[in-house]
Chains A and B, each alone.
Chain A
Amino acid sequence: MILEKPLLPYFEWLLQFDKTRWGALPHFLLTLLVIAIATLLLSLLVGTVLYGPLKAGDKVYRVVVNGFRELFSLSFRRVWALARLAIQESLRGRVLIAVAVFVLLLLFAGWFLKTEREPARLYFSFVLTATSFLGLFVALLLAVFSLPNDFKSKTIYTVLTKPVRAGEVVIGRILGFSLVGTVLLAIMGVCSYLFVVRALDHTHTVVGSVLAKGGDAEGNLPETTSLDKGHRHTIQQDDDGHLFAEFAHDHDHHVGESNGRLVVSSPHETIRARVPRGGTLRFKDRQGVQVARGVSVGKEWGYRSFIEGGTQAAAIWTFDGIDEKTLHDEDDGGEALRLELVVRVFRTWKADINTPVQGVIQLKRPGSDLKTAPEFFSAKDATIDQRYFPRTLTDTNNQPIDLLDDLVDEQGQIEVVVQCLDRSQYFGFAQGDCYVRMKEGSPLWNFTKAYISMWVQMVLVIAIAVTGSTVLSGPIAMMFTVSFILLGFYREFFVRVARGIQEGGGPVESLVRLVTQMNLTAGFRGESETTSLWIMRSVDSVFLGAMELLANVLPDFGEFNATKYVAYGFDIPANQIAQQLTMGAAYVIGLSIVGYFLLRTREVAK
């Protein structure tokens, strides 16, 4: 599975505070501080213009002091009353239509989905994306019009003339809409899961007579199953004489007997939740010298780097925390270390296309030369290859060694070394391409975790919508929130523009290029244009500065997307969920404070 940014351990993510990176908490506090100071200065400035410096200072002081006092005197009963109101308001509205639309979508999904080689991946992607969008959309609609409607119909008068703190109004609404959204997500989640399970469930028929027991298997075995859902399986027999339909399109089936006919079971393990434990990757170049990254073979995407075959080039992963619990109990009674490896093959010449490229994998003790005997494998390009290392192994001198005692060092680390054997062929690796497979996770729980991610995203959107709607009218608040969401999804692009890395320059330059139909990378020409160029660039630098500041506040919605985990069949690490929940909480707190101040300083009865 593709992991472009490695996941940091929780407390490191939260509390790190050094040159390379600031943790989430320091970042949050700093942002709050900066916003607070900026707002203070701005209000002082505006107030001075309107009322004169003394009065302005007095007002600002009072607002701040009141703010602190009121923020800490929140009553849960009031918050809950407002939340209940929000829920009742939503139920009276058209929330249920969203569910209806969703169910319709699912029913007609067949129009939009074609059969794929990896159906589980496609169905999960579709279902999770649809849920996420619909959930966001509904949450947005509910939350964004609520407060402005109150203002328009003046029902806010009867509320704000009660001893209700402005913070309670904001938090109450966020709470209320979140609850509605939660129920909505739950319903959609259940429907989605059932849909996927049902869609993946299929069977084949086998044309052929009963297998003569103990007789001449070869003659009577039917070759393949029927063509269902765009694929068929070849029938194989394993060593125990059991029949099974061979692995194709990401699953296999058992073949059993019933009433004298061969019956194909429903698919086996189509939905999985692998729990990987990752390691750190380093490379050796062809002379055996340690390097950080391997060779580039000219691919645009630099996620993987390559090692050359037939040389000393190697990819080495170091895994932590290997002990008894990491090993699995195997059928033959022993224990084994399960490793999964993804190899990306690059051939510089086709060689024999019928033979795959050969590689070799070994376990190694860190810091010493003790290695297992080389285990040869044929590289399956871009598919997950499962490898087993039993506890008792032999080393390069054919002496027996024990995995845990000899190969794992005192810190609990072990190294995995992979090399390519065929000359002029390359293997490509990234850090996430090799991992130790821990005990399987529950797919249902994994699915739920994906929904938790989505839930955090939704709550975030609600918080933004409510905060925006405290001072903006309905449609404007909607545009505001939608912009936030869009920028959040394209945050990476946004940051690249802000830092000047993205081709095409800032807003003004982009506009100029659009209008004059210039290329992204074309340079500006003409001596006479230097002044205008300078003006353009200066204005742009102001914008870019503002964008960089804004980027600190923008949430990265891409991070909340756990769809790919579920689609690829990987367990979402609890660490990631914790990080997302923390981020969500931080945003809700920050936005509530901002919303409080916005609402408080607003003249209700204009």
Chain B
Amino acid sequence: MAATPEIPNSDKNGERRAREPDEAQVVVETRALSKVYRDFWGRQKVRALKSLDLEIHKGEIFGLLGPNGSGKTTTIKLLLGLLFPSEGEAIVLGQNATEVSKNERIGYLPEESYLYRFLNAEETLDFYGRLFNIPADVRRERIDRLIKLVKLDAARRRQLREYSKGMTRRIGLAQALINEPDLILLDEPTSGLDPIGTREMKDWILELRDQGKTIVMCSHLLADVQDVCDRIAILHQGELKELGRVDELLKVEDVTQVKARGLSADCQDEIRQVIERHQGELVSMENPTTTLEELFLSIVRDSEARPGRRIVKQEPTKQGKS
């Protein structure tokens, strides 16, 4: 899945835009969902979530944003049924969130990998497969496929306690996918990963969305959310502050951005004049920067292809392609 995206959410062979979320099917719905943490005597301690109203449609990647303690993880846990709502309700896949049977079609990747450390990769997937009542042969085939998918083939017999963070995150993703779910919930999927791991995770998420699955993720790493999510909700201190499509929210209304290739200096001057003539304000005209992520990835790819000291170039190419 080594994709080479340049700017997120742009046309990539025209395919990404093609899959529009199915507006009609609501996968997750919360109505006035509230959660108050009480202490032993029933007194209120923390209002983690205050009356959240949310709808998540099939086939979209939905992001829950917010600083630490804003209620993102609480929402995820409420949707999974790990917590019971104090008020309101959460409907997931047409059933109440506290129903156990809805879990048949749900995958969950927790923040830390909460897996049994004394099992190895195969046993882990086998265990969770059994929990879904998947018959043995189907299970075996899926385990194989998933392990190859998350590139843990070399370490499939090693116990989980020997895995690095990236590896545990990958096996976590694998167990979330063992039942080929329709809805996948990811809790801080990219936190703590290195740039390569982050890129891989984002690619997987996009791939899953392309297969028609709905993905709900929460994160405080804004850049990653921006890259991946279709719609976001921003939470702060348990309240919903903003909800909408990423591109719409981020659009800066009154600034036009033009990117052109092969402009000579004369051309650039002319453009400046045109803008002046139309009473526009030239904000900036310069070479755009590519993302650090791409530089990093290109260097790493280069290094893997040609080991040895790299010849340092003075300036990167304009195109950003290598």
Contact = CB atoms under 8 A, between A and B. Distances in A.
A–B contact via C-beta, under 8 angstroms: yes
A164 interface: yes
A50 B131 contact: no
Contact of B127 (A49, A81, A92, A605): A81
A411 interface: no
Nearest to A73: B101
A145 B84 CA distance: 25
A195 B116 CA distance: 39
A153 interface: yes
A161 B116 contact: no
B101 A163 contact: yes
Interface stretch (B75-83, B192-200, B235-243): B75-83
Q: Which secondary structure dominates where chain A touches chain B? A: helix
B128 A603 contact: no
B101 A605 contact: no
B131 A164 contact: yes
Contact of B84 (A157, A166, A603): A603
B211 to A, nearest CB: 21
Interface in B121-148: 123, 127-128, 130-133
Given A70-B100, A161-B81, A153 B114 contact: yes
Contacts of A166: 100
Given A85-B116, A154-B110, A155-B114, A161 B83 contact: no
Nearest to A159: B131
B296 to A, nearest CB: 32
Nearest to B175: A158
Contacts of B84: 603
B103 A161 contact: yes
B91 interface: no
Nearest to A70: B100
B106 interface: yes
Contact of B100 (A92, A154, A165, A606): A165
Given A81-B131, A88-B119, A162-B103, A157 B175 contact: no
A50 B42 contact: yes
Nearest to B185: A161
B112 interface: yes
Contacts of B106: 161
B62 interface: no
A382 interface: no
Contact of A163 (B37, B82, B104): B104
Contacts of B42: 49-50
Contacts of A165: 100
Interface in A34-72: 49-50, 66, 70
Contacts of A604: 82-83
A80 interface: yes
Among the interface residues A78, A163, A603, which one has the most CB atoms of the partner chain B within 10 A? A163
Nearest to A153: B114
A89 B159 CA distance: 13
Given A81-B130, A158-B110, 18 more contacts: A77-B133, A78-B133, A80-B130, A89-B116, A154-B110, A154-B112, A155-B115, A157-B82, A157-B108, A157-B110, A158-B128, A161-B82, A161-B103, A162-B103, A162-B131, A163-B102, A164-B131, A605-B83
16 contacts: A81-B130, A85-B116, A89-B118, A92-B118, A157-B108, A157-B114, A158-B108, A158-B128, A161-B108, A162-B132, A163-B101, A163-B102, A163-B131, A164-B103, A166-B100, A605-B83
Interface of A: 49-50, 66, 70, 75, 77-78, 80-82, 84-85, 88-89, 92, 153-166, 603-606
